[in-house]
Amino acid sequence: MSSAGRRTLVYAIIAIIVIAAVGGSAYYLMRPRKPKVIKVGAIFPLTGALAEAGKLQKYATEWAVEEINEAGGIKSLGGAKIEVVWGDTECDPSVASSEAVRLITAEKVVCVVGAYMSACTKTVSDSCEKYKTPCLNPLSTSPALTMRGLKWFFRLTGHDALFCKQHWDFIKELNEEKGLGLKTFATMEEDTEWGVKSGEAYIEYGKEAGFEHLIDVRYHRGAASLDSEVAKLKEADPDIVCLTMYTPDAILFVKTMYKLGFHPKIIIAQDVGFVHPSYKKEVGEMGCWIMSREVFNWDLATVSPKIKAKADEYKAKFGVDLEGCAARTYVAWHVLALALEEAGKKADPWKDLDGFRAALRDALENLEVTPEEWAELPWAITTYDGVKFGGLRPGEAGQNIKAWGIIVQMFDDGKYYTVYPEKYATKKAVAPIPW
Partner 1 sequence: MVDLWLLGQATTSGLLLGCIYAVVALGLSLIWGVMEIVNFAHGDFLMLSMYLSYFLFTYLGLDPLVGAILGFLMGLALGLLIEKGLIEKVLGSPPIVTILVTFSILLIIRYGAMAAWGPGVKTLHPWYFMAILDLWGVRISMAYLIGALISLAATIALHIFLTRTYTGIALRATSQNRLAAELLGIDAKKMYTLSFCIGVALVGLAGGILSTFYYVIPEVGGRFCMLSFVIVVLGGFGSLLGTFLGGLIIGVAEEISAIFIPPVMKDVVAFILFLLILMLKPSGLFGEVTR
Q: How far is the CB of 220 from partner 1 (least distance, A)?
A: 5
Which range of residues in 78-86, 166-174, 211-219, 294-302 is near partner 1 by CB under 8 A?
A: 211-219
By the rule CB under 8 A, 278 interacts with partner 1: yes
Contact between 283 and partner 1 (CB under 8 A)? yes
How many Å apart are CA 182 and CA 238, to the nearest integer? 9
48 lies in the binding site for partner 1 (CB under 8 A): no
> Helix or strand or coil: residue 43?
strand
Query: Does 414 engage in binding with partner 1 (CB under 8 A)?
Result: no
- Rule CB under 8 A: say whether 222 interacts with partner 1: yes
Report how far residue 25's alpha carbon sits from residue 334's, in angstroms, rounded to the nearest whole number: 37
CB of 411 within 8 A of CB of 288?
Answer: yes
Binders in 57-76 for partner 1, by CB under 8 A: none
Residue among 243 and 343 whose Cβ is closer to partner 1: 243
User: What are the two backbone dihedrals, phi and then psi, of residue 78, each rounded to the nearest 5 degrees?
Assistant: 70, 35
Stretch 152-191: interaction string toward partner 1, x if CB under 8 A: ---------------------------------------x
Residue type, 55: K
Closer residue to partner 1, CB minimum distance, 83 or 216: 216
Nearer to partner 1, 245 or 336 (CB): 245
For partner 1, the closer of residues 276 and 306 by Cβ is 276
| Cα–Cα separations (whole angstroms), residue 5 to 10, 12, 13, 14 | 9, 10, 12, 14
Compute φ and ψ for 165, nearest 5 degrees: -60, -45
Closer CB to partner 1, 80 or 245, in the complex: 245
Please identify which residue in 32, 224, 422, 434 interacts with partner 1, judged by CB under 8 A.
224
Long-range Cβ contacts of 122-128 (<8 Å, 24+ apart): 122/93, 123/93, 123/94, 123/96, 123/97, 124/43, 124/89, 124/96, 124/97, 124/99, 124/100, 125/150, 125/152, 125/153, 126/97, 126/150, 127/97, 127/100, 127/101, 128/100, 128/104, 128/152, 128/153
Query: To 5 degrees, how large is the angle CA 424–CA 427–CA 433?
Result: 125
Return the number of other C-beta atoms located less than 10 Å from residue 309's C-beta. Answer: 13
Q: What is the DSSP letter of 271?
A: S
Which of 36, 232, 306, 428 is the binder for partner 1 (CB under 8 A)?
232
Q: Does 217 bind partner 1 (CB under 8 A)?
A: yes
Q: Position 434: which residue type?
A: P
| Residue 106 is a binding residue for partner 1 (CB under 8 A) | no
**186, 213 in Cβ contact below 8 A?**
yes
Among the residue ranges 105-113, 166-174, 215-223, 330-338, the one whose residues contact partner 1 (CB under 8 A)? 215-223
Residue 263 sits in the site that holds partner 1 (CB under 8 A)? no
Spatial distance between the Cα atoms of 81 and 69, rounded to a whole number of angstroms: 5
Window of 60-68, 70-78, 245-253, 350-358 that interacts with partner 1 by CB under 8 A: 245-253
* Residue 250 or 406 having the CB closest to partner 1: 250
Residues that bind partner 1 (CB under 8 A): 49, 191, 217-220, 222-225, 227-229, 231-232, 235, 247-248, 251-252, 255, 258-261, 276-279, 282-284, 286
